[in-house]
A and B are shown apart, each in its own frame.
Chain A
Amino acid sequence: MSTSAIAATGLRKAYKDKVVLDGIDLDVAAGTVFSLLGPNGAGKTTTVNVLTTLIKADGGTARVAGHDVATQTKAVRAAIGVTGQFAAVDELLTGQENLRLMADLKRLGSAETGRVVTDLLERFDLTGSAGQLASAYSGGMRRKLDLAMTLVGRPEIIFLDEPTTGLDPRSRRTMWDIIRQLVAGGVTIFLTTQYLEEADRLADRVAVLDQGRLVAQGTPAELKRQVPGAHVRLEFASDLDLGAALSLLPGSSRDEEDGLAVRVPSDGTAKSVRDMLNELDAHAVGVEEFSVQTPDLDDVFLALTGHSSTKENAR
């Protein structure tokens, strides 16, 4: 196998006359986390569905774990695990039975099944509710069970389609921890998300998807640097200080919402921030309050596509 866990070129998919994927090229190195970032309707799930053999692309090719997704579906399916956007657990089975079902379908054998099921229940903190029907689980527990089911049989490539959408912050953090552990174990992860923060925290590489096209690719840091939305916000006690700061800091502008605040474009690195504060200090300009504002998905979108992601949602 090559070092690419997932490699796609020119993937296209249209439903009737609506183009969903318009030529997607991807390359995901084995053992890394790749995040596909985009708003609802950008084509994230369709991309996952094509790569996981659920639907066939109209054009282009894709290889997953070295196998063609169109012609070698069996080999691809044997190598991957998929956790979709909606928890795919059987609600009329208990947590334990759900895991056993997966183990049976993967033909793990009874000794191994027992061990794997116990391990996963423990790892996902579900041992206490193992005997309850999944219909009684909370949203966070369901997602955890879903992911645990995906891990049965140790797939080498795991697809996570918006694994934290709709989760409360605490469950989201738990999910992130689990994903980090998986990466440490050597699996390749293909993650879709609507949250820049999530891609930022987890991914080695991020690709931004908009209306079926990739509009940017790079490390999270590279991506954020392209975005002018990143800025430092400074508040001053007086108009005098504010005026001084505006003339000292290149590119700075008055904050429209607050008369005594200034926005300064910044990449947010410690060095640039320190230089800026030193500059103000050297001219005896007192700063009352200070904050670094990092861009969110909307800023990224606006910068890369000229339209906001929320408008896309409304359409």
Chain B
Amino acid sequence: MSTDSAIMLRRNFKHTVRNPVAVFNAVLLPIVIMLMFVGEIGGAFNVGIKYVDYATPGMIVLTICYGLSATALAVNSDMAKGIINRFKVMDISRSAVLTAQVAATMLRTMIAVAAIIGVAFALGFRPHASFAGWLGAIGLILAVSFATSWITIALGLAAKTPESAGMTVVPLILLPFLSSAIVPAGKMGPGIRQFAEYQPFTPVIETLRALLTGTSPGTNAITAVAWLAGIALVGYVWSLSTFSKRA
């Protein structure tokens, strides 16, 4: 990582520490959703395995996505306040500002993910993952966070106002609900089932669930990685081009 990125990362860390409400939000709401689904409704679903074991991978992905609105807002307000222009007319690396945002988002996300896994254990989550399975799961969680962070930064940069920046990530927050996060796609009605089967979060969640329950993810793993690589690439290219264009 270049020194410019390191300096920028320090700036974003300070922002995170000084904005505890954002961290609190990112941690709290997914936990509430988890308690709702696992504690209240979960018993009604027949998913073949213990519901908390089924739901936790989806909740992890939901947690990652939920924290993104703060990133979109942060990127957009940087743009609106002119500080980005200050950085741009300085002789510093073009991507440093954005790389630092990604790193800060991932850090905040990992705190939230650790919290949701903690709550899952408290609710009786008992994964059967091997050591390699855990490594794979952690790698996948980081990859999801990385890819969604880049696409969120692109969306935040492209949005005209902070309000619309907040709105642009709503689809990302809703997508996990329309995947196999809460119930298997096969149990859904027609239309929504096809959507759930072919959207990116279903293979991601299926892979994560397989890794944590100690089964083989099969082709889901390849589909998931391909989706994430694509999303990250589009987000990265789109971010950098918007960043250089907007003055």
Contacts and interface: CB of A to CB of B under 8 A. Distances in A.
Interface of A: 49, 52-55, 74, 77-78, 80, 82, 84-93, 97, 101-102, 104-107, 133, 149
Nearest to B11: A101
Nearest to A79: B91
A84 B7 contact: no
Contacts of B19: 92
A93 B89 contact: no
B83 A90 contact: yes
B89 A89 contact: no
Given A49-B247, A54-B85, 6 more contacts: A87-B81, A88-B81, A93-B11, A97-B14, A101-B7, A105-B92
A149 B86 contact: yes
Contacts of B81: 86-89, 91
Contacts of B3: 107
Contacts of A85: 82
Q: Which of A88, A89, A91 has the most CB of B within 10 A?
A: A88
B90 interface: yes
Contacts of A93: 11, 14
Contacts of B15: 92
B197 interface: no
B50 interface: no
Contacts of B18: 92, 133
B85 A88 contact: yes
Given A90-B11, A92-B15, A104-B7, A54 B86 contact: no
A106 B89 CA distance: 12
- For chain B, which range describes its interface: under 10, 10 to 19, 20 to 34, or 35 or more residues? 20 to 34
Given A84-B82, A84-B86, A91-B81, A54 B7 contact: no
A313 B145 CA distance: 46
A86 B84 CA distance: 12
A67 B234 CA distance: 34
Q: Which of A90, A92, A133 has the most CB of B within 10 A?
A: A92
Interface of B: 3-4, 7, 11, 14-15, 18-19, 81-83, 85-92, 247
A304 to B, nearest CB: 28
A104 B10 CA distance: 11
Contact of B91 (A77, A82, A84): A77
A68 to B, nearest CB: 15
Contacts of B89: 52-54, 77, 80, 82
Q: Is the interface of A mostly helix, strand, loop or mixed?
A: loop
A89 B14 contact: no
A53 B90 CA distance: 10
Contact of A105 (B4, B85, B247): B4
Closest 4 CB pairs of A and B: A88-B82, A88-B86, A77-B91, A54-B247
B14 A92 contact: yes
Contacts of B90: 77, 102, 105-106
Contacts of A104: 7
Contacts of A77: 89-91
Contacts of A97: 14
18 contacts: A49-B247, A77-B89, A77-B90, A78-B91, A80-B89, A82-B89, A85-B82, A88-B86, A90-B83, A92-B15, A92-B18, A93-B14, A101-B7, A104-B7, A105-B7, A105-B90, A105-B92, A106-B90
Contacts of B83: 88-90
Contacts of A82: 85-86, 89
Contacts of A106: 90
Contacts of A55: 247
Contacts of B91: 74, 77-78
A167 B129 CA distance: 62
Contacts of A86: 81-82
B45 to A, nearest CB: 43
A82 B247 CA distance: 13
Nearest to B93: A105
B1 to A, nearest CB: 14
Contacts of B14: 92-93, 97
A52 B247 CA distance: 11
A42 B15 CA distance: 37
A213 B87 CA distance: 29
A17 to B, nearest CB: 19
A56 to B, nearest CB: 10
